Amino acid sequence: MVDAIIAAIGGSLVGFSLALVGGGGSILAVPWLVYAVGMASPHAAIGTSAVGVGANALIGLVGKTRSGAVRWKPGLIFAAAGILGAALGSIAGKAFDGEGLLALFAVLMIIVGALMLRRGEPQSPHRLALDRATVVKLSLYGISAGLMSGFFGIGGGFLIVPGLVAATAMPIFNAMATSLVAVTSFGFTTAGSYALSGLVDWGVAGAFIGGGLIGSVAGQKLAVRLALARGALTKVFAALIVAVAAYMLWEAAAAI
């Protein structure tokens, strides 16, 4: 019972993160399941978090769809290209030790966060043209993000958002909303791979999803308010990435 409550609290944090910035959820989920819930196996924590993150991303996607922020065509192209990558990446990820991968991934997160702050948010009106070049870009970014997502057992929102912005130049508010299409797809793809290996705790996953319902509502409301301030979402998103990366590096250093 206690574990279920703790898992639900973690789920609410993940749901809040996904609804607010479209990413950071699974990076928060795995440490929470390992250190707060007390799951002994990192791989089981990754598999369980993938179920929760995929479901919470779907909940957040419903809210973003109602607000009209989701750009479906580029989102579906990105997700379709990345699903195969996520499946292959998850198979490879299960064969590796998690601690070294998380430390390396933390460095990547800091780089991505810095690039997001440097790029900022497009200021000109956005007109999305899905020509051949844009579709190719979306597909390449999708495959790359899918591989990373499956390999590290994450939703990959902080990779998906920059990929969508780079491929289409859409405003980051729309990119964050649209990224949930891919986060949902990647999360369920990774979860399926881990479930086939018996690496999912379904009871914990259910509590995680339940908590995510509450967090998603709060995150959606705050995202709408922050969208009114120019560049605010970019700063929040980048700060979240860097903060979690610093924590991961600290944990890796402590384990040496």
For residues 10-33, average pLDDT: 76
Note the pTM of the prediction, 2 decimals: 0.80
Q: How confident is the model at residue 125 (pLDDT cuts 50, 70, 90)?
A: very low
Short-list 27, 67, 49, CA closest to 211: 49
pLDDT at 129: 67
Is pLDDT larger for residue 77 or for residue 116?
A: 77
The set of residues, in sequence order, having a beta carbon less than 8 Å from that of 217 and lying 6+ positions away, is 19, 63
In this predicted model, what pLDDT tens digit does every residue of 200-240 receive, in sequence order? 999 999 999 998 888 887 777 776 666 555 566 667 767 77
Q: For residue range 176-195, what is the model confidence (pLDDT) as tens digits?
A: 889 999 999 999 999 999 99
> What pLDDT was estimated at residue 80?
95
Of the candidates 52, 84, 61, 33, the residue with the CA atom closest to the CA atom of residue 191: 52
Biggest CA-to-CA distance, the chain:
53
**Site of tokens 């973003």:** 64
Q: Do residues 200 and 194 touch, judged by C-beta distance below 8 A? A: yes
Show me where the domains of the chain are located: 2-255
The pLDDT, as a whole number, for residue 212 is 85
Please write the tens of the pLDDT for every residue from 136-175: 999 999 999 999 888 887 778 778 988 898 899 888 888 8
Task: Spell out the alpha helix ranges (H) of 94-171.
Answer: 98-119, 132-152, 157-168
Percent with pLDDT over 90 in the chain: 27
